[in-house]
């Protein structure tokens, strides 16, 4: 387990903790996403405009590429991020924003901060993942309800701990509403790593022993950000591979799994809207 610390002299240790100096977790950041967006708009001559209420992170970029290929997505000219493009599209009659290729914890959280600063209310991440638990052959999805913090970004938002949890009620409700979906959808833990090409046998075994179903690169940081900043984020692992251990690996299904992913996101949106209404949000 992760070793604790004491006020004034905390040191992080343990197999899934970053070796970081003590953080002031309640202190505001001097550099805020609103500052970056303000200056980007000034430099680029962009208007201030809100993004859709529900936005999607697409680390692989397959969703963005497919939507553009079939003429369903358009680049948002008012998106002021220096590093990414935001595309807008409709699915099942509802508007979405999507950012492609924001791979890894630091980049994903940077974009998440900017999206929420621009009016996003619910952020969904759908990332391809490697199989840890041999429950079924890929491809399938996992609603990630907690993630092992084997990355650095989450430790800037929350004190050291083994896990970064999702909103448990939201994750459970989304999973229930996806029962009977045409592609299997599990619910459980993931392992978030910053170093996919250092997934050694020992590290995989450790993650498996702790209950991880899949390995990916963003969820722990996104959930830490969500908890610290009081935002609503839900992460899906699209389990597509056995880390190259078998031939014909990394297959997502028909149309690179885009149709499945979009319908899962739409279902999650409906669940979130229902829960938000019941909570008076």
User: What pLDDT is stored for residue 20 in this prediction?
Assistant: 56
Query: Quick one: tokens of 146?
Result: 């907690």
Looking at residue 216, what is its pLDDT?
Answer: 98
Give the pLDDT confidence of 91-139 residue by residue, as tens digits.
Answer: 999 999 999 999 999 999 999 999 999 999 999 999 999 999 999 999 9
Give residue-wise pLDDT tens across range 41-73: 999 999 999 999 999 999 999 999 999 999 999
What backbone phi and psi angles, to 5 degrees, belong to 96?
A: -140, 155
Q: What are φ and ψ of residue 239, in 5° steps?
A: -75, 110
Q: Quick one: pLDDT band at residue 244, thresholds 50, 70, 90? A: confident
Query: Which residues face 54 on adjacent strands?
Result: 122
DSSP annotation string for 90-149: EETTEEEEEEE---SHHHHHHHHHHHHHTT--EEEEEEEEEE-S-SSPSPEEEEEEEEEE
At residue 259, does pLDDT exceed 90? yes
Q: Which residue has the higher pLDDT, 268 or 250?
A: 268
DSSP 90: E
Cβ atoms within 10 A of the Cβ of 278, count? 8
- The mean of the pLDDT values for the chain is 91
Q: Which whole number is the average pLDDT over 185-203?
A: 97
Is the pLDDT score of 202 beyond 90? Answer: yes
Residue 8 has pLDDT above 60, yes or no: no
Exposed, middle or buried: residue 18 (CB in 10 Å: 0-12, 13-18, 19+)?
middle
Rounded-to-integer distance, Cα 250 and Cα 103, Å: 16
* Res 7: pLDDT: 33
Q: Rounded to the nearest 5 degrees, what angle is found at the Cα of 50, between the Cα atoms of 46 and 56?
A: 110
Residue 13 has pLDDT above 50, yes or no: no
pLDDT at 86 over 50: yes
Looking at residue 180, its pLDDT comes to 96
Give the whole-angstrom CA distance, residue 61 versus residue 202: 30
What is the C-alpha to C-alpha distance for residues 265 and 194, in angstroms, rounded to an integer? 25
Q: Any idea of the CA torsion for 196, 109, 81, 47, to the nearest 10 degrees? A: 160
Q: Say if residues 51 and 76 touch (Cβ distance below 8 Å).
A: yes
pLDDT per residue over 153-184, tens digit each? 999 999 999 999 999 999 999 999 999 999 99
Q: What is the pTM of this model?
A: 0.91
Average pLDDT of the segment spanning 76-88:
97
Question: pLDDT band at residue 186, thresholds of 50, 70 and 90?
Answer: very high
- Tokens standing for 94? 């509802």
For residue 249, what pLDDT is reported? 84
Per-residue pLDDT averaged across 230-259, rounded? 89
- Sign (positive/negative) of CA torsion 187, 188, 192, 198? negative
- Assigned token pair, 218: 């963003």
Domains of the chain in sequence order: 33-242+250-275 (3.40.50.1580)
- Largest distance between two CA atoms of the chain: 56
**pLDDT at residue 278, as a whole number:** 74
Mean pLDDT, rounded, for 234-263: 89
pLDDT at 257 over 70: yes
């Amino acid at each position: 387990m992760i070793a604790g610390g004491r006020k004034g002299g905390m040191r992080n240790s343990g197999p899934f903790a970053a070796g970081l100096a003590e953080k002031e977790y309640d202190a505001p950041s001097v550099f805020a996403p609103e500052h970056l967006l303000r200056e980007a708009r000034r430099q680029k001559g962009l208007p201030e405009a809100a993004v859709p209420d529900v936005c999607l992170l697409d680390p692989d970029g397959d969703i963005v590429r497919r939507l553009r290929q079939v003429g369903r997505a358009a680049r948002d000219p008012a998106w002021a991020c220096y590093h990414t493009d935001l595309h807008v599209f409709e699915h099942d009659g509802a508007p979405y924003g999507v950012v492609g290729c924001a791979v890894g914890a630091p980049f994903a959280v940077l974009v998440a901060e900017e999206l929420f600063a621009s009016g996003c209310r619910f952020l969904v991440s759908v990332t391809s993942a490697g199989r840890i638990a041999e429950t079924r052959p890929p491809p399938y999805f996992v609603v990630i309800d907690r993630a092992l913090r084997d990355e650095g970004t989450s430790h800037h938002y929350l004190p050291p701990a083994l896990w970064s949890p999702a909103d448990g009620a939201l994750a459970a409700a989304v999973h229930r509403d996806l029962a009977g979906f045409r592609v299997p959808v599990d619910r459980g833990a993931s392992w978030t790593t910053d170093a996919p090409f250092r997934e050694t046998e020992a590290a995989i075994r450790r993650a498996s022993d702790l209950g991880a179903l899949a390995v990916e690169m963003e969820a722990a940081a996104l959930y830490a950000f969500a908890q610290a900043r009081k935002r609503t984020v839900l992460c899906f692992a699209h389990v597509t591979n056995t880390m190259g251990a078998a031939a014909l690996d990394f297959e997502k299904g028909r149309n690179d799994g885009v149709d499945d992913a979009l319908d899962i996101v739409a279902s999650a949106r409906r669940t979130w809207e229902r829960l938000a209404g019941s909570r008076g949000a």
